[in-house]
Amino acid sequence: MKLNNIYNIFSILVGNNSDVDYEKKPVIIQGITGSFGSKHANLMKSYGTNIAAGVTPGKGGSKFEDVPIYNTMKEAVEATGSVISGVFVPAPFFYKAAKEALDSGIKLLVAIPEHVPIIDSIKIFQYAEEKGARMIGPNTPGVIVPGIMKVGIMPAQPFTKGQTIVFSRSGTLMYEVSHHLSNSGLGQRLALGIGGDPINGTNLIDSFNLIQNRDDVDSVVVVGEIGGDAEEMLADHIIKTGFTKPVVAYIAGRAAPKEKRMGHAGAIVYGTYGSADSKITNYARADVPVAKSPREVPLLLKTKLRK
């Protein structure tokens, strides 16, 4: 079955519209014995994620804590039945690891590493589509379903269980905005990091398609930044599809000088293209208010929810 519709990511993680049919889905960590992978595998386990296996070539038969390690993804998938993989290998090895995962039946690939060559990202994105799978990232903090599981590097503290979705182009801002939402009593159903690279396996429009028909989601917060046209395209998509859930946005880098390259590879502005003004104007057409600071996000969202 093809999984081209991003809706299936949500189904893989939490089932259909509730936690009633939710099971602790098994997750495989590629690169689990590395310093980065091992640290975050422990944190994910502590949060409640079912880390069922790890993969490190040459270390099959050993264990990380109580997690069995396999030499190949094929062995790990056959042993666990997992369709979710968190990729923590260094960027030069990403293409091989990701392709092996997809060949082994993985349907949700959470690509953590930064500095992945663009050509490798494009190839894996296309290959995932051919395999009926979906990639989040690369250069993503991952995805978290608060109170249930997380696959990625995000801290647990900012997130609480609720019905608001957070989609973010920035990892640290995803944490900060979620923190302010949580403190205001607006928990999150899911928070997903789009990734800071020019090529995203899951973009903002894909992400909105994820929750278009979910009745366990009552609102959306989009954390964007200057550069590129992701927000402008999303505004058009909201208008064309008649998206009805309340949406609030925040855009980082509003005071940055034009033609300034920011921290993310895609965050560069040429003239007015990709500028904060361009994004704010387009969001206004779609009735999406833009907060001036992360702290203002829950205030705007509560106003939208009261309408």
How far apart, in whole angstroms, are the C-alpha atoms of residue 159 and residue 144? 8
Same domain? For 243 and 267 the reply is: yes
Whether a cis peptide bond, with omega within 30° of 0, leads into 138 is: yes
Mean pLDDT of 62-90: 97
Same domain? For 48 and 90 the reply is: yes
The larger pLDDT score, comparing residue 39 to residue 230, is at 39
Same domain? For 243 and 154 the reply is: yes
Mean pLDDT of 87-97: 97
Asked if 147 contacts 161 with a C-beta cutoff of 8 angstroms, the reply is: yes
Asked if 225 contacts 262 with a C-beta cutoff of 8 angstroms, the reply is: yes
Asked if 291 contacts 173 with a C-beta cutoff of 8 angstroms, the reply is: no
Asked if 175 contacts 154 with a C-beta cutoff of 8 angstroms, the reply is: yes
Asked if 118 contacts 197 with a C-beta cutoff of 8 angstroms, the reply is: yes
How far apart, in whole angstroms, are the C-alpha atoms of residue 158 and residue 162? 12
The larger pLDDT score, comparing residue 72 to residue 265, is at 72
User: Which of 136, 159, 191 finishes a domain?
Assistant: 136
Same domain? For 104 and 191 the reply is: no
Active site annotation includes 40: no
User: Which of 95, 119, 136 finishes a domain?
Assistant: 136
Least confident range from 57-66, 82-91, 211-220, 288-297: namely 211-220
Does the residue 1 lie in any domain?
no
Query: How far is Cα of residue 129 from the mean position of the Cα atoms in its chain?
Result: 17
Confidence of residue 228 (pLDDT cuts 50, 70, 90): confident
Q: Dihedrals φ, ψ of 69, to 5°?
A: -110, 140
Same domain? For 153 and 83 the reply is: no
Domain extent for 58: 7-136
pTM equals 0.90
Point out which residues pair with 73 in neighbouring strands.
none
Say how many CA atoms lie within 13 Å of 138 toward its Cβ.
Answer: 25
Helix axis angle, 297-306 relative to 171-183, nearest 10°?
60
Same domain? For 216 and 264 the reply is: yes
Same domain? For 188 and 213 the reply is: yes
Token output for 24: 């602790």
Out of 40, 115, 179, 264, pick the active-site residue: 264
Confidence of residue 260 (pLDDT cuts 50, 70, 90): low
Least confident range from 4-18, 36-50, 140-154: namely 4-18
How far apart, in whole angstroms, are the C-alpha atoms of residue 127 and residue 123? 6
Same domain? For 124 and 152 the reply is: no
Query: How far is Cα of residue 218 from the mean position of the Cα atoms in its chain?
Result: 19
**pLDDT of 17 over the 90 cut:** no
